[in-house]
Amino acid sequence: MTGWNRRSFLGAASLVALLSAAPGGAEVLHGLDPAEAPSPHQRTLMRTAAEHVIPTTETPGAGALGVDDFVFVALAQGLEGTRLPPAADATFTPFLRSDGSLDHIAWLEARLGPKWLTLPPASRHAQLAALDAAAFSNDPAAAPWRKLKGLILTGYYTSETGGSRELKYELVPGRFDPKVPVTPETRAYSSDWTAVDFG
């Protein structure tokens, strides 16, 4: 993921702390401005999309952990530049707020369509995969999905489950091994921040 800097990291960490300190994600959402509060349909949509991004396997998926609530709070706070005006594109006009920023959730609802939640899981996954492919092939009309997916990943991998159960955690490596066998089952380390650009 690009765009990480010290401010983004601290903002994400603050949101994680806020969510983890609250009795539940829903309680945090009650503190949002009513204009930012998601509808029950939007919460279901985001939770389902998050679960498709990181599905439940031997560890809970993003939807099962309630990462969607993190995404709503992060969007309201403008994490990762989500409160900046989007690139000029007429397709975004119906989803702009009064301050010129994009309502990412309203955009996602329209992009996936009103019947997306009623589709069989395989069809939902295929449609989301097509959106993902478009977003990461630099299709401007699909660009907002990159920020939404980034927030899902941030919320998941900064959670206790994502950081210590989905990833391998070792704060201080015991020794230097120049050759470490890597298999498809090898998990990344959550304590390895060498690939993150803190600016």
Q: What is the rounded CA–CA span in Å between residue 61 and residue 75?
A: 20
Least confident piece of the model among 31-45, 97-111, 119-133, 160-174:
160-174
pLDDT of residue 9 exceeding 70, the answer is: no
Instruction: Retrieve residue 179's tokens.
Output: 């050759």
Residues 6 or more apart in contact with residue 46 via CB below 8 angstroms: 38, 68, 71, 72, 105, 108
Residue 172 banded pLDDT, cuts 50, 70, 90: low
Contact between 77 and 15 (Cβ < 8 Å): yes
Q: Exposure of 161 by Cβ count < 10 A (0-12 exposed, 13-18 middle, 19+ buried)?
A: middle
Helix (H, G, I), strand (E, B) or coil at 189: strand
Give the pLDDT confidence score for residue 1 in this predicted structure: 44
